Amino acid sequence: MALGRGLGDILSEVEEAYEKDLSDIDSFDLEAQGARVEDIDVASITPNPFQPRKHFDDEALIELSASIKKNGLLQPIVVIEKEEGYLLIAGERRLRAHKLAKLKTVNAIIADADIDEVKLRELALLENIQREDLNGIELANSYAELIEVHEITHDELSSIVHKSRSQITNTMRLLKLSKYAQEKLIHGKISQGHAKVLVSVDESKQKILIDSIIGQKLSVRDTEQMIKNHKEKPSVEIERKPKINLTSKFKDDFKQKIPFGYSLKDKSIEINFSTSEEIENFLSLLK
């Protein structure tokens, strides 16, 4: 299994960057590991093409951008040097915030490492998983991609990303949600707790439940109860009785005994009179 092989040094640099602010980072230690901290041009950095995170909250980015502009960057991004500029390894939100603030340079740890496509994908996935920056659907896709690319089990993935096997399995179940449900989860309209409850519901009914959750601001517990009530409610089957045409059975008898114009219905007969004399004749028959 190739997952994580050769990434220890870089991941330790990433973790160190997250745990300390710039004033605490020992540049001599980093240089001993083959890395350095420098201000580099924002325009020279290429994002990781395998970034699993697809949704970035605009409001949160604006807040981060304003904070960086006012207080500076407390945690550097991590890059590696390429033939033409740099390739981003960790810190895409911070890089986006710099671009939003129209800052020309950014503090970065420049790691001395040669990373191929597979390792680049691993770093992007692991960094986001460890940082818990992904929403439920992005996280589920990340787990699925790691399992598929490296042909590993849920148990093996559990030991690598330090998440329980049940957490991995339950998160991946979110990929069974309808497209509508996944979009609402990605955009924060429903929580991951809501989503996990909805997995057990037919796709055709998920939209109705989700609209109720959003419209009524239901908690996860309220949602669980609503789904439970829905499942326990017995379906009412309407007994359909066969359609019986009673008059057709006596069609010939009517023809012989009724000397008037008439029309037969399923369960009735309609007699038509053209003169008062016919009515009198009919009344006499009744007597």
Are the C-beta atoms of residues 174 and 196 closer than 8 Å to each other?
Answer: yes
d(CA 161, CA 52): 15
Which is catalytic among the residues 15, 19, 83, 92? 92
13 is catalytic: no
Report d(CA 88, CA 50) in Å as an integer: 11
Angle 126-58-180 (CA atoms, 0-180°, nearest 5)? 75
Lateral strand order in the sheet of 77-82: 35-41, 105-111, 77-82, 85-90, 45-46
Say if residues 39 and 76 touch (Cβ distance below 8 Å): no
Which one-letter amino acid corresponds to residue 87?
L
Place of tokens 């517990």: 221
Cβ within 8 Å of residue 19, ≥6 positions away: none
C-alpha distances in angstroms, 156 versus 5, 139, 146, 152? Answer: 14, 17, 10, 6
Structure tokens at 170: 């339950």
The catalytic residues are 92
